[in-house]
Amino acid sequence: AQRVTQPEKLLSVFKGAPVELKCNYSYSGSPELFWYVQYSRQRLQLLLRHISRESIKGFTADLNKGETSFHLKKPFAQEEDSAMYYCALKRSASKIIFGSGTRLSIRP
Amino acid sequence: NAGVTQTPKFQVLKTGQSMTLQCAQDMNHEYMSWYRQDPGMGLRLIHYSVGAGITDQGEVPNGYNVSRSTTEDFPLRLLSAAPSQTSVYFCASSFSAGANVLTFGAGSRLTVL
């Protein structure tokens, strides 16, 4: 079955430390993957998508088809990165499915 | 340009009551969808629409109805609310008929007693 797995419900790191939010997927074909973020009292919003291959707010994510992963990384965490992060997979032309989310907490 | 507007923001229902969650977008987006967000389960797709007059089921459609009579509006109806439908509901839209980058509403928190 096509699914997205985020194994960590909560990730807590110190400010300035590297961050890696894990995302694994199962999909037959060429996947289209996204990271969405929900900051406190804000709307869920797109952070980045793999086809853009860009860095947003210092975050990057590389699609690894061999490991079926799309982990989100940032070399130096900032307090404003604290938020809920969702990995998402475009399952078909009309369906995007989400993982269960990881809450990232940055300690000062 | 308001984006995606959801009403109401909060609602409390009794088991068996019906209600409609409203969703409107002013971006001329073809695609609209409803998700529910539950702790530990992320966002799950309830129903979606690729254009006016066209709707289809997502992952968890049971207990919910939708219609899309205009491009702008995509209401979600609960015909007979159950406690299992206590959740936060998000409406999301995308410019093209195929789901791509989603623009989300602020969410509607529903409690069913």
Residue A29 has pLDDT above 90, yes or no: no
User: How far out from the chain centre does Cα A96 lie?
Assistant: 14
pLDDT (mean) for A4-18: 96
Q: Is the pLDDT of residue A1 over 80?
A: no
Beta strand A102-107 with A10-14: parallel, antiparallel or unpaired? parallel
Q: What is the pLDDT of residue A53?
A: 76
User: What whole-number distance in Å separates Cα of residue B34 and Cα of residue B42?
Assistant: 13
Which pLDDT belongs to residue A89? 94
Question: Is B24 near chain A, with CB under 8 Å?
Answer: no
Residue B65's pLDDT is: 97
Residue of B nearest to A88 (CA): B43
Between CA B7 and CA B76 the distance in angstroms is: 11
Nearest CA in chain A to B39: A100
Cα–Cα distances in angstroms (integers) from residue B65 to residues A6, B7, B42, B48, B89, in the given order: 30, 16, 21, 11, 14
The alpha carbon of residue A105 is apart from the nearest alpha carbon of chain B, in Å, by 16
Residues of B in contact with A95 (CB under 8 A): 45, 48, 58, 99
User: How, if at all, do strands A72-74 and B103-104 pair?
Assistant: unpaired
Please write the tens of the pLDDT for every residue from B27-86. 999 999 999 999 888 999 999 999 999 999 999 999 999 999 999 999 999 999 999 999
Write the residue in B41, B59, B92 that is nearest to A100 by C-beta: B41
**Does the pLDDT at position A8 exceed 70?**
yes
Question: In this complex, which of A6, A34, A97 lies closest to B59 when CB atoms are compared?
Answer: A97
Measured in angstroms, the CA of B37 and the nearest CA of chain A are apart by 9
Closest CA relative to residue B95, chosen from A107, A6, A46, A73 = A46
pLDDT computed for residue B99 by the predictor: 66
Interchain pair B42, A93: CB under 8 A:
no
Q: Mean pLDDT in chain A?
A: 93
> Is residue A62 predicted with pLDDT exceeding 90?
no
